[in-house]
Amino acid sequence: MKKIARVVSLLLAVMALVSVSSMSVSAQSNGLGISPRKDYTVQPGKTVKDTLYIRNLSLNQDLQVNIRIIDFGAANETGAPALQLDDKLPQTPWSLKPFVKIQDSVKIAAGKSANVPVTITIPEKQGAGSYYSAVEYTAKNPETKEKVNIAASTASLMFVTVPGEANEKLALKDFGMFVSNLKDESKGDFKSFYLGSTPKEFAYRLQNTGNIAEQPTGSLIVKNMFGATVKEVTDANPKKQLVLIGQTRRIQACLKTSVLDSKDPNVQQSPAQNATCDDPGLLPGRYTAQIALYYGLNGNNSQEILASTSFWYVPWWSIIVLAVAIVLIILLIWLIRRAFSGRRTRYRH
């Protein structure tokens, strides 16, 4: 009887595992594949036409996708967009809403995709600057009219740059070595003394008070206490991050980068998006980091931001080596003094 009970228990466990697995697959099958971001440069008085890609990731459910243009800003210093889903909110100064024409819905069969045409027209007297909004997608089952759980991103961000003489102004608020908060990416600490831990990452905070969404570029060098360059980062903005209008944006980069290949062949990521910070191989001591940033719209003068900071790196092994060296020096002094003391005693006798 005990053997039969064990067999029955094992069968029930297997059936439960299969049931849970099938539920998980079903829950993940619903969603949309979309174009996450679109960038355009449009002259005043001109029109640009494009298409937005939408794919129904469900293999067994048709979707009715409602489309609307909404404004957005920055949720925090990491650059996560804060979508303005409430239609009653006032239009932002940088809104694209008045310039965009797009259909309000599209039906997509299970496993199929659609290209939705979009037209952007910039008025002839529109001033130079950055204008941006988001295209929000809401998926519903056309038969039941119930909203579908969308696993993918629900919005495509659209950025338009209108060339001309614009107000470009970035101010550097902070710069230094940085320790990320693994639980909350919006948080972290600038650090100037590393005891035991290894400095791997630097960051800088830029405030945008102009009317252009800026994408700064630049480089960084690290020098040791003797003035020799020990580390050079040629791209201080590897993810090509934007500083939105009115935003204070924190941009982070590694002193040394390791790129991990994605295990999912369907996931396409740039090397910067798939990068992790590696040990830069610094020796103990005091270091100086110098950064040079550049920004500016094509046709305007490029502007430069220079800054420097210093930090200490003291690994635990260096403390142990120093302690052992101090003990050895004390012991050597004691042995020398003892030897001289013994000689003086023999000389007196």
pLDDT tens by residue, 43-73: 999 999 999 999 998 888 899 999 999 999 9
Q: Where are the domains of the chain?
A: 29-162, 170-314, 317-349
CA distance 44 to 40: 13
Residue count of the chain:
349
Between 107 and 18, name the one with better pLDDT. 107
Tokens representing residue 11 in the block: 């069968």
Mean pLDDT of the chain: 84
- Domain 29-162 class? mainly beta
**CA atoms lying within 13 Å on the CB side of residue 174:** 17
Per-residue pLDDT band for 116 (boundaries 50, 70, 90) equals very high
- Nearest partner of 42 among 96, 117, 102, judged by Cα: 96
CB 224 within 8 A of CB 283: yes
Q: Given a cut of 80, is residue 320 above it in pLDDT?
A: yes
Whether 33 shows a pLDDT value over 50: the answer reads: yes
Residue whose token pair is 């967009």: 81
Q: Residue 152 has what pLDDT?
A: 42
| pLDDT at 299 (0 to 100) | 62
pLDDT computed for residue 337 by the predictor: 85
Which residues lie closer than 8 Å to 21 by C-beta, 6 or more apart?
none
- The 3-state secondary structure of the chain, one letter per residue: CHHHHHHHHHHHHHHHHHHHHHHHHHHHHCCEEECCEEEEECCCCCEEEEEEEEEECCCCCCEEEEEEEECEEECCCCCCEEECCCCCCCCCCCCCHHHEEECCEEEECCCCEEEEEEEEECCCCCCCEEEEEEEEEEEECCCCCCECCCCCCCEEEEEEEECCCCCCCEEEEEEEEEEECCCCCCCEEEECEEECCCCCEEEEEEEECCCCCECCEEEEEEECCCCCEEEEECCCCCCCCCECCCCEEEEEEECCEEECCCCCCCCCCCCCCCEEECCCCCCCEEEEEEEEEEECCCCCCCEEEEEEEEEEEECHHHHHHHHHHHHHHHHHHHHHHHHHHHHHHHHHC
Q: Is 347 a residue whose pLDDT tops 60?
A: no
Predicted pLDDT at 15: 36
d(CA 160, CA 146): 34
Mean pLDDT of 308-335: 93
Tokens 């629900």 belong to 154
pLDDT band per the 50, 70, 90 thresholds, residue 211? very high
User: Has this prediction a pTM greater than 0.85?
Assistant: no
Residues near 347 by beta carbon (within 8 Å), at least 6 away in sequence: none
User: What pLDDT, in 10s, does the model give residues 219-263?
Assistant: 999 999 999 999 999 999 999 999 999 999 999 999 999 876 545
d(CA 345, CA 347): 5
**What integer pLDDT is reported at residue 205 of this predicted model?**
97
Collect all residues with Cβ–Cβ distance below 8 Å to 223 and sequence separation of at least 6. 229, 230, 287, 288, 289, 290
Adjacency order of strands within the sheet including 229-233: 193-195, 303-314, 285-295, 217-223, 229-233
Is the model's pLDDT at 7 over the cut of 60?
no
pLDDT at 148: 62
pLDDT band at 188 (very low <50, low <70, confident <90, very high): very high
pLDDT > 90: what percent of the chain?
62
| Range 170-314 classified under CATH 3.40.50.300 | no
Percentage of the chain with pLDDT > 70? 80
Whether 6 has a pLDDT exceeding 80, the answer reads no
Q: Confirm if 95 and 73 have CB atoms less than 8 A apart.
A: no
The residue among 232, 249, 230 whose CA lies nearest residue 241 is 249
Q: What is the pLDDT of residues 128-155, one digit of tens each?
A: 999 999 999 998 877 666 666 554 447 9
Report the candidate in 76, 36, 29 with the shortest Cα–Cα distance to residue 52. 36
- Asked, colleague to colleague, whether 29-162 and 170-314 share their fold, the answer is yes
